[in-house]
C-alpha cells in the first residue's frame, strides 16, 4: 500500500500550517479523503482540521 507524506499548506483548524504527517492509502496518485480524515483524527486534531480532508489542501509526496 502506498504511503504519502502530507504537508498543510496553511493552518487548518487546530493544525498549524506546515504540519507534516504520513498517510497509508490504497489509492494512487493521491490518498483518498477518508484515509486523510482518519489520520488527522488519529493525530488528535479537531473536526475543523478533519474537514480539510481533500487531497487538494495538501502538498503531497509519495514516500513508498
What is the count of structural domains for the chain?
1
Residue 63 lies inside a defined structural domain of this protein: no
Q: Quick check: is 62 in a domain?
A: no
| CA–CA dist 9, 51 (Å, integer) | 14
Looking at the chain, list the stretches that DSSP marks H as alpha helix, in order from N- to C-terminal side: 33-42, 47-50
Query: Tell me, what's the pLDDT at 27?
Result: 94
> In this structure, is residue 64 part of a structural domain?
no
In a domain? residue 21: yes
Domain with 25 in it: 3-57
Is residue 34 situated within a structural domain? yes
Is there a domain that residue 53 lies in? Answer: yes
Where residue 21 falls among pLDDT bands split at 50, 70, 90? very high
Residue 6's pLDDT is what?
98
State mean pLDDT over 31-60: 98
Whether 11 maps to a domain, the answer reads: yes
**How much is the pLDDT for 10?**
98
Tell me the average pLDDT of the chain.
Answer: 97
Amino acid at each position: 500500500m502506498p504511503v504519502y507524506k502530507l504537508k498543510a499548506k496553511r493552518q487548518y483548524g487546530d493544525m498549524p500550517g506546515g504540519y507534516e504527517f504520513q498517510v497509508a492509502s490504497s489509492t494512487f496518485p493521491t490518498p483518498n479523503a477518508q484515509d486523510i480524515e482518519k489520520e488527522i483524527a488519529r493525530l488528535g486534531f479537531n473536526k475543523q482540521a478533519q474537514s480539510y480532508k481533500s487531497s487538494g489542501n495538501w502538498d503531497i509526496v509519495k514516500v513508498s
